[in-house]
Chain A
Amino acid sequence: MGIELKHLLDVDTLSKEDIFFILDTAESFKEITSRDIKKVPTLRGKTVINLFFESSTRTRTSFEIAGKRLSADTINISATSSSVTKGETLLDTLRNLEAMNPDVIVLRHPASGAAHFLAKHAACAVINAGDGQHAHPTQALLDLMTIRERRKGGPAGLKLTIAGDITRSRVARSNIKLLNKVGIDVSVCAPASMIPAGIETMKVRVFHNMKDALSGADIVMMLRIQKERAGKSLFPTLREYSRYFSLNKETIKYAKKDVIVMHPGPMNRGVEISSQIADGELSVILPQVANGLALRMALLYLLAGGAKQ
């Protein structure tokens, strides 16, 4: 059993077998983090470039530590310190970085399809760490890893609800695609101004109230609400959003008793999720982060190892 991966751009091309293979590999990597010496020599002499055109703490740190624990040389380039600000095109940035012969580029970019674009022109492996509103495959994989750890019976048949700004969420898109592949029944919940056109063709059910959306849910995934959008076009005030669409001790009652509470972070406490729930015993928000590290180690191992073609 193995997997042939050149890049990880989205979850579309992954088969169910590929998905479980990646997750199994990631589980084997979890143990390394608990050692005294949290490092293995696997990617010694390999170079991983974290090319981040958007601010990110969690994902960038996760990839950076993942690379370092595998002994790869990990370099971070962030938009503010890079030549993007000087108007260099993405292609020129890529060509300059490639002249230094990296093995993996981890890309975070505000344009949907940026990772596909980079992969089309790159000789090294490309991992999409979030492109515009399109995809965030490592987030979806770590979410599934977390779900699988907590539901030993397997993911098939579980009911999951994603609540938040679905239109602008790459996390929602990648999760909808990935979780559907393994048989999870996905619903989304948001004001209609945050539900993208034709979402039902992605095999999800759409709700505009938490009661119906959470009814019978095994898992609820809350998305960060961008506060700066309040009062413009999507919703009038954080107060009203929170009143109708937040996960709190009242709304969580609509879901199953042992519902798993997830959030890809960063959270707005008191807006989309109450602190009581975020810090409560049903929350797996921190295990998500821990799994993210193991998952990214596994992906770096699978993509950076092997002979160069």
Chain B
Amino acid sequence: MSLIIRGAHVVSPKEKIDKPLELHIRSGRIAGLYDKGKAPAKIDPDAKVIDAGGLVLTPGLIDMHVHLREPGFEYKETIATGTKAAASGGFTSVACMANTFPVNDSASVTRYITGKAEKEACVNVFPVGAMTMGLKGERLCEYGDMRDAGCVAVSDDGRPVMDAAMMRRVMEYAKTFDLLCISHCEDEALAHGGQMNEGAKSTVLGLTGIPCAAEEVMVARDVLLAELTKCRLHIAHVSTKGALRIIKNAKKRGVNVTCETAPHYFMLTDDDITDYNTNYKVNPPLRSKEDKKAVIAGIKDGTIDVIASDHAPHHDDEKRAPFMYAAFGISGIQTVLPLTLSLVQSGVISMSDLVMKLSCQPAGILGLAGKGVIKVGACADLTLIDTKKAFTLQTGDIVSKGKNSPFIGRELKGCAQAVFVSGKRISI
């Protein structure tokens, strides 16, 4: 079975491609790339031709920070529904976090996830293993076993490793198996009881605040530990100006650190929390205008390597509660692409920067060979984007089981038109 995508404008920064090309796919791999009119006249008579005129074709997008909730919290999301939502959002690969039940802290849980994904997932699923047993920050997991079972990184995401000495061992041990450490930076004592960003707005609403410093002291600590251990460190969901200053400085000094942010940190601020709408409750919390500006600047100047969703679907009941009792998190995998495209539309970044942050960099940081590229012989993971389609997001449009999005009702522009995983078109 072969496929021809004709008429699309191809953007693949790794190969410095930014022009109209015709793409041929055979047996799940890219078989040919041709300038307009240069394609061989003789083609496979069974080949299906897709007319992609007016669309942009990119390497398959990769969301390196999602919560698929399975096993254990299937009422929130499953591998099947989460990956379907990912495909609808334009992603061909996702890295799923370990805070499931049981926690992905052993090769057997990892194998459960990969096995389930093989059967039910419509995009590639790369598990992230836990740093410590049960995410408790006390005992190391069997990283070697977990890597061999399919884990591409380790993270206690959702919970920080509070003990600095423990974190040092995590980094050293991860380095042993060349695993990336993804750090959820939050000082639990400083953030204790917090519901939203600490500031004038939290004071008016009477909600306990989480100061920026709760994130920043941990970013500083982990950067120093990465320097000490020479481990590859990736800071998850960066939300503050101060954290970015620390990371930028560390990069300048040559520390092996990368970082990501999520669209809500460059789209929203704590001021947007009105009427105690729990869809705006997320951790780290929506910060101030200053922080939002710094995040946008960080995306522009490259301090921020990756944009990821931190997709955190919840059941309606967990959000339909007073703000204090509502769960943290945004169901965001479907809105990453349109929201990041808004940065392209407003001239903050180029389309090629977008592809870097949503595909090439995540592939590189996670070490996913053959991903994030468009070249002959590579796996045909591709995303076809309609950058012009305008729509208003409705609850019913959300494919994920979790409808907890603060972007419901918002006018968005641009979305995935089709995704191909190993050459197979996924219906979205």
Contacts and interface: CB of A to CB of B under 8 A. Distances in A.
B203 A113 contact: no
A131 B325 CA distance: 13
Contacts of A131: 206
A132 B193 CA distance: 13
Contacts of B195: 112
Contacts of B208: 133
Contact of A132 (B206, B209, B320): B206
Residue with the highest number of chain B CB atoms closer than 10 Å, among A89, A91, A113, A117:
A113
A199 interface: yes
Nearest to A167: B203
Contact of B199 (A111, A116, A198): A198
Residue with the highest number of chain B CB atoms closer than 10 Å, among A111, A170, A199:
A111
B200 interface: yes
A167 B209 CA distance: 10
A173 to B, nearest CB: 6
Residue with the highest number of chain B CB atoms closer than 10 Å, among A89, A117, A167, A173:
A117
B202 interface: yes
A229 to B, nearest CB: 13
A55 B208 CA distance: 21
A134 B198 contact: no
Given A89-B321, A111-B324, A197-B200, A116 B276 contact: yes
Contacts of A196: 202-203, 209
B15 interface: no
A179 to B, nearest CB: 15
Contacts of B211: 197
Interface in B198-226: 198-209, 211
A135 interface: yes
Interface string A22-33: 000000000000
Contacts of A117: 276, 321-323
Contact of A197 (B199, B275, B276, B321): B199
B199 A90 contact: no
Contact of A109 (B203, B204, B322): B322
A195 B199 CA distance: 11
B205 A111 contact: no
A223 interface: no
Contact of A202 (B203, B276, B320, B322): B203
A113 B322 CA distance: 6
B163 interface: no
Interface in B306-329: 317, 320-325
A133 B205 CA distance: 8
A98 to B, nearest CB: 16
A117 B200 CA distance: 21
B324 A112 contact: yes
Contact of B204 (A89, A90, A167, A202): A202
Given A111-B325, A117-B276, A91 B320 contact: yes
Contacts of A90: 321-322, 325
A202 B317 CA distance: 34
Contacts of B201: 198
A113 B205 contact: yes
B203 A197 contact: yes
B131 to A, nearest CB: 29
Contact of B323 (A111, A170, A173): A111
B321 A199 contact: no
B322 to A, nearest CB: 4
Contact of B317 (A89, A110, A114, A198): A89
Residue with the highest number of chain A CB atoms closer than 10 Å, among B199, B200, B205, B206:
B206
Contacts of A89: 317, 321
A198 B322 contact: no
A198 B203 contact: yes
B198 A197 contact: yes
A113 B198 contact: no
Nearest to A196: B203
Contacts of B209: 196-197
Contacts of A132: 206-207, 324
B66 to A, nearest CB: 28
Contacts of B205: 112-113, 134
A201 interface: yes
Nearest to B323: A113
Contacts of B199: 197-198
A198 B120 CA distance: 49
A198 B321 contact: no
B202 A197 contact: yes
Contact of B203 (A111, A114, A135, A199): A199
A96 B198 CA distance: 36
A114 B206 contact: no
19 contacts: A90-B321, A90-B322, A91-B320, A91-B321, A112-B207, A112-B276, A112-B324, A113-B205, A116-B276, A132-B207, A134-B206, A170-B206, A173-B206, A196-B202, A197-B199, A197-B209, A198-B201, A199-B203, A201-B203
Given A196-B209, A197-B200, 18 more contacts: A89-B321, A90-B322, A110-B324, A111-B325, A112-B207, A112-B322, A113-B322, A113-B323, A116-B276, A117-B323, A134-B205, A173-B206, A197-B198, A197-B203, A198-B200, A198-B203, A199-B200, A202-B200
Interface of A: 89-91, 109-114, 116-117, 120, 131-135, 167, 170, 173, 196-199, 201-202
